[in-house]
Amino acid sequence: MKRIYHFLKSYISILPFIFVRSKAKIIGITGTDGKTTVTTLIYDMFANEGLKVACLTTVGVTYKDGFIDTGLHTTTPSAYELHKYISQFRDYDYIIVEATSQGIDQYRVAGIKFAAAVYTNITTDHLDYHKSWENYANAKSKLTKYLTKDGFALINMDDKKSFKYLSNKFNSNNIKYFKYSVYSKNADIKAYNVTEDSFDVRVFNKDYAFKTSLLGEYNIQNSIACIFVALKFEISQKSIQKTLKNPPYINGRFDIVSRNPLIVVDFAHTPNSIYNVLDTLKNLKKSNKSRIITIFGAPGERDKFKRPLMGKNASIFSDVIIITSDDPRFDDMREIYSDIIKDIDILRFIKDKNLFRIDDRSKAIDFALELANKNDIIALLGKGHEKSLAIKGHEIPWSDKEYVLKKIKKRHGKK
């Protein structure tokens, strides 16, 4: 019944736009992690080419003449809102759109024709809604139902589980798709000679060399997906290189807000994204004595299955873990804490007295700032760009970045 409800709601809501004709080619980005980064990088590459392009992400709507803060708590807005934006940008050359599994499953992208569907990865998230990984992956795969006749999908070979699932599904349904990889020689676009600030790619039987200032192996994967899409739509190497060397600022995505100590605010809220961010940060330690102090929590009334994995991945790289609130809603923080620590090596952290539960997020940050020395790294994860905390039915104004900057300013005695 819910699917019928969402189907009717979406198709009725887009009736005002049924006769709107858009010349823009629309590119959809889906996956568990990396959607906002990939969407924004593709947008920037196309904009560098002088094209009129807009992008709709978790953070907001970016276009040639400005930015719209949508205030969205979900990546994919309602079908009405989405079609409203597409209508607004109907004379543009391209529109780049993030698409969530729930947005696809609830027909919010219905009526849109995508020139490409890019898959970053499919790991663990939203299982409270989908009930199983297979249902989650199946919902993601349905984005290809809306491809144009010449449209294509792009999938990540390095995310082995999702690659096997999607490639089998696309082969069965005669969906045209391409493959990207850092490791596999069988990919349509392959990265090689990867260093801290450069990498080469082979695509369409041609080699390209790129400089990059994006950190982390996961951003190499993100980058080659973007490069493939850009080249497929005839974007020049110069425009691509400009983006990779000087990437656009993405609010709440590996957002460095202080250098001494190094403080990074990131939206990482899944096991995979927590692993990737902390794995990258470990390479930024200034000395063997530098510590990674990780502050994070898990949302209430949402996917409980990922909580132990989040804790486990945080414990791999962290020297100190501070578990705090992250939209607990009506869930008991004691239950959230217990779930997170299930797969943590408790004895190691208790022995060193490096595992803490501080429910108040502001106090957790205060504690970390007092604990850290100038050579340490503070990873503040989960909220990223978001501007509120959902607690017991209320949306309480909150920004990790703004709070940290205020505390640093106060500590330095600035007015």
Q: Is the pLDDT of residue 19 over 90?
A: no
Q: Is residue 223 a part of any domain in this protein?
A: yes
Do residue 100 and residue 172 come from a single domain? yes
Do residue 56 and residue 179 come from a single domain? yes
The closest alpha carbon to 30, from 19, 41, 38, 21, belongs to: 38
CA angle 321, 324, 328 (to 5 degrees): 145
Specify the pLDDT at position 346.
84
More confident residue, 352 or 18: 352
Cα 268 to its chain centre, rounded Å, is 7
Cα 304 to its chain centre, rounded Å, is 19
Do residue 119 and residue 12 come from a single domain? yes
Do residue 23 and residue 163 come from a single domain? yes
More confident residue, 189 or 107: 189
More confident residue, 8 or 300: 300
Residues in contact with 102: Cβ distance below 8 Å, sequence separation at least 6, in sequence order: 74, 76, 126, 129, 139
Specify the pLDDT at position 238.
98
Token output for 80: 């009405």
Count the neighbouring beta carbons within 10 Å of the beta carbon of residue 385: 21
Sequential DSSP letters for 101-125: HHHHHTTTTTTPPEEEEEE----S-
Of the candidate ranges 38-52, 121-135, 213-227, 253-267, the one whose mean pLDDT is the lowest: 121-135
Average pLDDT on 12-31 reads 82
Q: Is the pLDDT of residue 379 over 90?
A: yes
Q: What is the mean pLDDT of the chain?
A: 93
Do residue 166 and residue 301 come from a single domain? no
Q: 261 exposed, middle or buried (CB, 10 Å; 0-12, 13-18, 19+)?
A: buried
Q: Residues 207, 224: contact at Cβ < 8 Å? A: no
The closest alpha carbon to 298, from 332, 328, 278, 268, belongs to: 328
Which residues form the domain of 311? Answer: 255-410
Do residue 39 and residue 7 come from a single domain? yes
**Domain end marker among 199, 216, 245:** 245
Q: Residues 154, 44: contact at Cβ < 8 Å? A: no
Residues in contact with 55: Cβ distance below 8 Å, sequence separation at least 6, in sequence order: 39, 40, 42, 43, 61, 62, 63, 95, 96, 97
Q: Is residue 250 a part of any domain in this protein?
A: no
Q: Residues 400, 380: contact at Cβ < 8 Å? A: yes
Number of domains the chain is built from: 2
**Domain end marker among 197, 225, 245:** 245
Find the CATH number of the domain harbouring 52. 3.40.1190.10
More confident residue, 171 or 350: 171
Q: Is residue 415 a part of any domain in this protein?
A: no
Do residue 59 and residue 193 come from a single domain? yes
Q: How far apart are CA 326 and CA 345, in angstroms?
A: 22
Q: How far apart are CA 14 and CA 120, in angstroms?
A: 28
Q: Residues 68, 103: contact at Cβ < 8 Å? A: no
At 22, the pLDDT band (50, 70, 90 cuts) reads confident
Specify the pLDDT at position 5.
75
Q: Is residue 76 a part of any domain in this protein?
A: yes
Do residue 286 and residue 361 come from a single domain? yes
Token output for 52: 């009129």
Q: How far apart are CA 258 and CA 219, in angstroms?
A: 21
Do residue 201 and residue 59 come from a single domain? yes
Angle, in degrees to the nearest 10, between helices 307-317 and 333-340: 60
The dihedral built from the CA positions of residue 304, 325, 35 and 70, taken in this order, carries a sign that is positive
Do residue 209 and residue 134 come from a single domain? yes
Q: What is the pLDDT of residues 39-84, one digit of tens each?
A: 999 999 999 999 999 999 888 899 988 888 876 555 678 889 889 9
Q: Is residue 261 a part of any domain in this protein?
A: yes
Q: Residues 109, 42: contact at Cβ < 8 Å? A: no
Q: How far apart are CA 336 and CA 234, in angstroms?
A: 48
Do residue 53 and residue 165 come from a single domain? yes
Q: What is the pLDDT of residues 188-207, one digit of tens each?
A: 999 999 999 999 999 988 99
Do residue 267 and residue 151 come from a single domain? no
**Domain end marker among 211, 245, 279:** 245
Find the CATH number of the domain harbouring 373. 3.90.190.20
Specify the pLDDT at position 415.
45
Q: How far apart are CA 339 and CA 335, in angstroms?
A: 6
At 128, the pLDDT band (50, 70, 90 cuts) reads confident
